[in-house]
Structure 1
């Protein structure tokens, strides 16, 4: 922003704040709305004060107690204990403000909360534009007659649409531009032994973040370096295995949860030795850049998962075909503007956390829901935007890595569990490579694999394998050791869809931060034909829950992956500490067979030659959907890949069925029975 622009925004900022200060105490709107607008105006005044304090560096002298008090004041209104009477709660907003206005004003409340991040990052223009729309909507309620819903909706619509060239463009830039380094500066320059640094990010901070940071501070440098190098080496090896030239790249996107800064600092130093500068951006705070309730980027604690879930479909206010076309146009323009940065971007390196209490959301009628037409537009946008992104950050020229660690919420044995997970993340990959090769050799003799659950698990599924033209040099399964997906422990393939049929069921699974109970999915020729779960009493609610959070509003999805997890050590840790229900899919998928719905494991990079350590080429990278990329790329990719694992103790049988009908068992009654895999049972028997 140049000096003239800064001067203009300062003038607009001053005018906004002067007017909003008046709104905080005046009563010129109808009675039900006075309280809402006064509270929102007071919040904005709080943000003005915060913005100016941060700019003057006043909080640098705050004690830890002062920082904690400030942090709590920013988020207290949406915390679970206060949420029943918060305008962020659509139920409360509708009850207080009526069906016509309550829901859309709850949306405005949510957008205003983005000012917390803007204040900490010094983003005056973001604050100005949301304040201006707040004043415009307030003016509508000052008229003699209450405004119709359409009038408020149009104000929101044009605000979101008109400023998308700023908000969407900024989001693209911050995902690839290392000069936007707010978080990097904190990580690299703050005294990490002084936990006050956590509050300077502007995220919600709880005991999880404080205790995680304190625990990492207690570890010796060798352990920190081991954690960081496992993570960064996995990333480097991913490029090496795919034969992608990492030296041609200049940036890496680091995604993590606050509290792990000591490890992230060491990782940044490792990446710099590879020639990569870090790009670390905050999870989106405005609806145009969000993806449902999911947080992509760095963040602290989630103040209230129900609040995020209640506003997962807020785009329903403005989502129509012209808006989607405009947003796609902005996306194209933004990537073209930053095409050099995009071309030199290497992809994400993610540190996930686990240990939180499983969350089962409440479905609220007062919350926004997508219409059928909007659901189709969401799918259309997802398909088109992924193609645009791939033109500038090419799938066959990038990679990724993911690693996970527990947080203190997991229980009193947190530190012990943390040490165990470090061991799990650094297991001897050569041992697993050898055993997994034995499994692959058995699998490659089959035409399909039969998976059968036991007890209350009613899985009965056949997975069809691709035909190998020359088994001496070809294989269907990749031998996955600890590189992009840490920890070690799986063999996986993209199955052939025709012939892949049956029922997949799991008693309990955690997908995308949401808990699913008695999840059941039916496949016919590799495509989902039916689904249900036991989360809600109403079957319609169960189906919608899966439609929104697994199928992402699509009528169906293909089975994009079938894998057999071999990390029995991780399974034993989960059983020992009773944390199986809290493990992320990253670890859980290594603890039994898993099945991904959506894109294949090789989406956007199917033409890269992949070899196993034994030299054989993995040929099963496409299926009947992904191969459509050669005719109509819009039909080939769905932009989602959700893994669902059956734990060993719910598993009766995995067997390979050969073309002549003979069978080879790999797992029976939760134990590995294939000759050469017996060592995997040691952890299960301990």
Structure 2
């Protein structure tokens, strides 16, 4: 069924309600509204008037787009896109009510953050208008009018403002009352291929005509245009190779984990705008595997937004500071009652869509890298979570993951992730892109054999010691599990090109007791932030101290981004990356700090804080190509699931890599104290692994 037809009945039911609200909003510009609040309401009413214009241009819920919209030129569509997003672009953000500093300066510290929150929520109308989700727009118009009426009523009563609590309550109940609308839809759009808004753009558009980029409603920058044009220029065999690496890695992930892909019917395809030509070919390949694509947009409403990064499909951020300022908007409403209500609705939604959930094979993700460094400004006017709210947020994340696992068991699904550069990476973009394709398709068998040589040595060890050099102060001891039957058991997984592309690592879940020392990295890029002089200290496998040297509030940002809001995390993974070709590419083009974790983790030893690599699937056997079972799937924390699930998981897994040029030695130490040197001064010295040094 066509996506617009699917929503037609719902849109018809709400059309009159929406029109009444928009009529009332249009009249605000003629009314005598007391300054400074009148400026906010008139300007915001003007934005909603532009949304009404957009709805009219796009047919207001008709089953097909009007011919007039289809005939808009690239320049006209670009103008529309600029109008919709210009208020939050960096050059205009200083005087935008989306900016909590500006809102507080104009409207006061009491009402500024509240009205900035409201305006940010209203900006979601842009994508709702493109998707023709008229009920969402009607709800937002109504809460805007409700808040406006609170002010006009206060003015009529000769008061300067309404009570702050009255405005706060109105916004709280807007979120709380509509959790049962927003959250179930969010679950459904991540499971139901019938919600085909993005899939239709991918499969039905002329991808050589860049006008297609403007059909999403996302902000479209020069980066998306350049990327889409570059993709259109690539020969068909290159596109085929890129897509096949991505989909074959997904298929092989099920194979190596012993899971039955034939029981699944859908795959969640996550990507960034500009990659549609590759994604179209991948969709065709997924369909040959019996999988229909599910494409969902990165959330725009605070209820579903992630504080750390985006998931789904999305374009370049119009303003990363804007995203950062509103990352904790949930502080307005997060409390015990709200958390429990949200969990209850989540459970109900998954029960409603349990058949769709059972058919979902998991995500296939295309990441990008190369964005310019971003150093956020922490604003006192922006919402922030207090300690209790942080605890509730983390508790919700753990409990929600348990619910999801009931309907989509981790031992029945899989995933794959692949990454490519964006044009912002610099003038060598095209060369880096082609080199990334080469790195993503290195020979499976060659690396499998070399990595098995490393594993055979590591399996003799009681612990591994890792040191740094050239100013890197790392000195870390990682303890390993005891192998009861070394002929049939192993501690390390031999990771080649399946779920994590590119290939090139051996990894384990360490024993926490006895794992201790300092992990130090001069530079590492984590979730869009470049951390310099990052330090994590461990005792019995737990982070005890942490800091970085390049942010005013460095410790707080480490806690937010790397520890995912936790005050401590266990060491969930230790790995040795073997993709020296990726490291060589990074050195050649001086892009080491811009590599995503997905590639960077293969360019040296890496350490993940948070859950193990096997979270929620620890009891499912895992075997290497040599037939040995990987027994290091648990640690002392994950084992707590058998007593109290809430204490076993942290809903995060953040990798940090020491690059070869900062790496000193990696030594496997046996129980009798004898040593096997694997890497010395950043070079592979274990016999059988020397081939890896050629790229270095």
Q: TM-score, normalised by structure 2?
A: 0.96
What are the superposed Cα offsets for residues 146-176 of structure 1, whole Å, 9 maximum, x if unpaired? 1222111110111101111000000000000
2:91 paired with 1:81:
yes
Q: Which residue of structure 2 lines up, in the alignment, with residue 22 of structure 1? A: 27
Instruction: Describe how 1:95-106 pairs up with structure 2 within 5 A.
Output: 95-106=105-116
Residue 627 of structure 1: aligned partner: 639
8 Å CA contact 1:477–1:492 kept in 2: the answer is: yes
Shift of 1:40: 0.6
Where does residue 82 of structure 2 map in the other structure? 72
Query: Structure 1 residues 658, 2: closer, same or farther in 2, change over 3 A?
Result: closer
The Cα offsets for residues 354-389 of structure 1, whole Å up to 9 and x where unpaired, read as 111121211111111100110110111011100001
The residue aligned with 1:52 is: 56
Q: 2:493 aligns with which of 475, 478, 489?
A: 478
1:148 aligns with 163
Render the CA deviation track for 1:194-233: whole Å, top value 9, x for unaligned: 1110110111111211111111111111111100000000
SS in 1 for 2:621: coil
Q: Which residue matches 1:39?
A: 43
2:666 maps to what in 1? 654
Contact 1:293–1:309 (Cα < 8 Å) also in 2: no
Report the alpha carbon displacement of residue 15 of structure 1 after superposing the two structures with TM: 0.8
Q: CA deviation at 1:4?
A: 7.1
- Measured against aligned partners, the alpha-carbon deviations of 1:29-67 in whole angstroms (never above 9, x if no partner) come to x31111111111000010111112112523211111111
For structure 1, the 5+ residue unaligned runs are: none
Relative to structure 1, the CA distance from residue 245 to residue 141 in structure 2 (aligned partners, 3 Å threshold; closer, same or farther) is same
In structure 2, C-alpha distance between the alignment counterparts of 1:632 and 1:563, rounded to whole Å? 28
Q: Who is 2:62 aligned against?
A: none
Deviation at 1:25, TM superposition (A): 3.4
Q: Distance in 1 between matches of 2:39 and 2:660?
A: 55
Uncovered stretches (5+) of structure 2, i.e. residues with no partner: 1-5, 60-64
Deviations 1:592-618 (A, max 9, x none): 000001110011111221111111110
Would you say the 8 A contact 1:71–1:204 is kept in 2?
A: yes
Q: 1:366 corresponds to which residue?
A: 381
| 1:476-505 CA distance string (max 9 Å, x none) | 000000000000100000001101111111
Counterpart in 2 of 1:114?
124
User: Would the alpha carbon gap of residues 607 and 521 (structure 1) be closer, same or farther in structure 2, given more than 3 Å must change?
Assistant: same
User: What is the correspondence of 1:664-679 to structure 2 with a 5 Å cutoff?
Assistant: 664-679=676-691
Residue 304 of structure 1 deviates from its aligned partner by 0.7
Q: Is the 8 A contact 1:93 1:105 kept in 2?
A: yes
Contact 2:473 2:518 in 1 (8 A): yes
How far apart in 2 are the matches of 1:451 and 1:148? 59
Name segments (4+ residues, structure 1) moved above 3 Å: 1-8
| Pairing partner for 2:397 from 382, 385, 390 | 382
CA distance in 2, matches of 1:445, 1:120: 59
**C-alpha contact 2:7 2:133 (8 A) present in aligned 1:** no
**8 Å CA contact 2:11, 2:133 repeated in 1:** no
Instruction: State TM-score, norm by structure 1.
Output: 0.98
Residue correspondence of structure 1 range 521-536 to structure 2 within 5 A: 521-536=536-551
RMSD: 1.1
Q: CA deviation at 1:5?
A: 5.1
Maintained 8 Å contact 2:271/2:366: yes
Shift of the alpha carbon at 1:455?
Answer: 2.7
Asked if structure 2 preserves the Cα contact closer than 8 Å seen for 1:358 and 1:510, the reply is: no
Deviation at 1:293, TM superposition (A): 4.6
The count of residues paired between Structure 1 and Structure 2 equals: 680
